[in-house]
Amino acid sequence: MNPLKTLASQTAIYGLSSIVGRLLNYLLVPLHTRVFLPEQYGVVTEMYSYVAFLLIVLTYGFETAFFRFARNEEDKSQVYSTSLLSLFVSSVFFFLLTIVFLDDIANLIEYPKHADYIIWFALILATDAITAIPFAKLRLENKAFKFAFIKLINIGVNILGNLFFLLFCPWVLKDSGSMFYSLASSVYSPEFGVGYVFISNLLASVVTFILLLPDMLKAGISFQSNLWIRMMKYSLPLLVGGLAGITNEMFSRVSMKYQLNEDVAMHELGIFGACYKVAVLMTIFIQTFRFAAEPFFFSQSKEKDAKKLYADVMTWFVIACSTIYIGVLLFMNVVKYFIGETYHEGLGIVPVLLMANIFLGIFFNLSIWFKLNDKTHFGAWLAIFGAILTVGLNYFLIPLYGYEGASWATFIVYLSMMIASYVLGSKYYPVPYNKMKVIGYPLFAAVITYLYASFLPMEGWLSWILKCTIILLFVAFVWNQEIRKKTLISQQLQS
């Protein structure tokens, strides 16, 4: 099969769990933003920001190291068992450490009355970190369907938990004669609030761990210290880069409540977190692509036309992102209802966040140059550069502009990292990217949506026809540029 078609098919299968799953999770956003006020939703946003940081620490780059060493080592089972045992031991140690310093942690993040949140998230993080390697093994072995199935089970349990606690139980408790009244009254308390979001996540993580447990037990207890040391040397720069990278994404959410006045901080954080979810279609695609692309890039690295293939992948990736950008913004009058009306004041940041995520996706594509050449320290330095820029811009912009400042900081950081990675990659691992297309398609998408919003903001069925026409014209333009012209050139060369 054509390598591009292989990547596309793998992306589609991983997308079953990621896109369908995320869309199902996405349906929790209208629930949460209607059940909780912005300041309450701000707690959810903040807690999951901490999770993002800690999960990077607890996996310490071993997913990528697993792909790298499983490709080269003769005994792949040793790589798997060593990686798995390493993450198991470190995750258990993390959980025990959290229990010992529970009260101190609760006071540090200003949740002294909710130490229970910290225990739940410690369990979530420990189980998710351990299962990272079994999931990576499924990806390496191209067991995309099993990967997708377990991911969907995880998401299904999480969603059912949210629906049970936040919708079913309050509804049942309105009628004391209901047959489910005793059950609901025994497990539900209105004062528990956002805690039910976290409990649902914990249940999903535990179920996922149980489903993957048979595969983990098959690995046995086998630890190769020399292999582990080599993997750590490879992965530690990725850990530093991962921490710096998550700083770029999450620092604004973690720091916002400390930078703004107490009476507005959690409200602003809730608005920012909800509106970031409106841009989730872009992040869904990028995450789905990453699941398929990383093992794909490694597997193709020894092929003769690998660099040309990477360039083609970049072009089609940018085309897909640009199409999503146009679709989300043209149909914003519909998309906006995924969050409650209380949160609509922040919708102006969505175009900025969408484009910022395109830059991040391009950066991920570019990053193959330092992963393939074992120059992961460059990835760390690039991420550190972005993290320093993130901290500086957020400290400057958030006090002045709130969540709008945070969104523009994200935009500037990802743009800067993308440019820096391209410049360095051109020196150490030059790939013949079509710069005009990589720049041109997103720019074209931005111009189209800006012109429509400025001059054709019509309503009614005519607007739907016009919007669909604009998207079809964009697709036709892409087809003419990428397929029709190449076909004609090929026919001319053959004749």
Q: What is the residue-wise DSSP string for 291-307?
A: HHHHHHHHHHTTSTTHH
Residue 123 sits in which domain range? Answer: 3-457
- In this predicted structure, the answer to whether residue 489 has a pLDDT above a threshold of 60 is no
Strands (E), 402-468: none
Name the DSSP class of 346. G
Tokens of 371: 């992963």
Quick one: which H or E segment has residue 174? none
The pLDDT mean for the chain works out to 85
Asked whether residue 425 is domain-assigned, the answer is yes
Asked whether residue 465 is domain-assigned, the answer is no
**DSSP calls for 223-240:** --HHHHHHHHHHHHHHHH
pLDDT in tens, 180-223: 888 888 888 888 889 999 999 999 999 999 999 998 888 777 78
- How crowded is residue 165: how many other Cβ atoms within 10 Å of its Cβ? 21
Average pLDDT over residues 367-383: 81
Contact 178, 169 (CB under 8 A): no
Quick one: which H or E segment has residue 395? helix 376-401
Q: How far apart are CA 146 and CA 138, in angstroms?
A: 7
Residue 180's pLDDT is what?
Answer: 86
- In this predicted structure, the answer to whether residue 300 has a pLDDT above a threshold of 90 is no
Q: What angle do CA 249, 253, 256 make, to 5 degrees?
A: 135
**DSSP calls for 240-268:** HHHHHHHHHHHHHHHHHHHHS-HHHHHHH
pLDDT in tens, 429-446: 888 999 999 999 999 999
Asked whether residue 473 is domain-assigned, the answer is no
Q: What angle do CA 224, 380, 76 make, to 5 degrees?
A: 25
What backbone phi and psi angles, to 5 degrees, belong to 2?
Answer: -55, 135
Q: How far apart are CA 439 and CA 435, in angstroms?
A: 6
- In this predicted structure, the answer to whether residue 93 has a pLDDT above a threshold of 90 is yes
Q: Which of 135, 132, 136, 114 is nearest to 124 (CA)?
A: 132
Asked whether residue 472 is domain-assigned, the answer is no
Q: Which of 203, 256, 251, 199 is nearest to 383 (CA)?
A: 251
pLDDT in tens, 124-166: 999 999 999 999 888 788 787 788 889 889 988 999 999 999 9
Q: Which of 444, 491, 436, 435 is nearest to 471 (CA)?
A: 444
pLDDT in tens, 454-486: 776 667 677 788 888 888 988 888 888 877 656
Residue 413's pLDDT is what?
Answer: 93
Residue 145 or 91, more confident: 91
Residue 73's pLDDT is what?
Answer: 58
Residue 23's pLDDT is what?
Answer: 66
Residue 1 or 238, more confident: 238
Residue 493's pLDDT is what?
Answer: 44
Q: How far apart are CA 200 and CA 165, in angstroms?
A: 8
Asked whether residue 232 is domain-assigned, the answer is yes
Residue 415's pLDDT is what?
Answer: 95
Work out how many domains the chain is built from and give that number.
Answer: 1
Q: How far apart are CA 33 and CA 280, in angstroms?
A: 15
Asked whether residue 228 is domain-assigned, the answer is yes
Asked whether residue 50 is domain-assigned, the answer is yes
Average pLDDT over residues 116-123: 93
Contacts of 227 (CB under 8 A, 6+ apart): 69, 73, 78, 79, 82
Tokens of 490: 């090929």
